[in-house]
Amino acid sequence: MINFVLLISRQGKVRLTKWYSPYTQKERTKIIRELSGLILTRGPKLCNFVEWRGYKVIYRRYASLYFCMCIDADDNELEVLEIIHHFVEILDRYFGSVCELDLIFNFHKAYYILDEILIAGELQESSKKNVARLIAAQACNPHIWLTYLFVFA
């Protein structure tokens, strides 16, 4: 099970967070500070798996963003790397070569896409075509985007 998802810039700024396990705001802040310090200082030739507090953190750098997911110690790391790559490919399809600014100015759409892929920390949809179809259908409905703006703003 995925406990949380973090997107962190190379400067340590958080661009997206999604929590699937209960954490207080104080714990979330501490987790973000710890993990950003741990991941950003790792060399590019080191593996993308980090053992942390009895969990595994799997991360992957795409351009200027680190996509991180925390999983239970006995979960499959390679599957999570595939989920990260799947998420990035869908973001690329939607935004057309996604960049950090796309996620800053369209964070509600990034959250919506993530919600189409993962539910409660588990992979929901593995088909890029199905996710693209669902996103296109919702793009015509402005009420969905307004809902995401109010929830995540």
In this predicted structure, the answer to whether residue 151 has a pLDDT above a threshold of 60 is no
> What is the distance between the alpha carbons of residues 95 and 136, in angstroms, rounded to a whole number?
12
Q: What percent of the chain has pLDDT over 90?
A: 61
Within 14-144, strands assigned E span: 14-19, 49-52, 55-62, 65-72, 118-119, 122-123
* pTM for this predicted structure: 0.86
Topology of the domain comprising 2-152: Beta-Lactamase (3.30.450)
Give the sign of the dihedral formed by CA 43, CA 49, CA 17, CA 65: positive
In this predicted structure, the answer to whether residue 148 has a pLDDT above a threshold of 80 is no
CA nearest 18: which of 77, 100, 87? 87
Place of tokens 């501490």: 30
Q: What is the pLDDT of residue 140?
A: 65
| Domain ranges, ordered by start, for the chain | 2-152
Summarised one tens digit per residue, pLDDT across range 91-121 is 999 888 888 998 999 888 899 899 989 988 8
Please, how many CA atoms are within 13 Å of residue 85, restricted to the half-sphere of its CB?
7
CB atoms within 10 A of CB 102: 18
In this predicted structure, the answer to whether residue 10 has a pLDDT above a threshold of 90 is yes
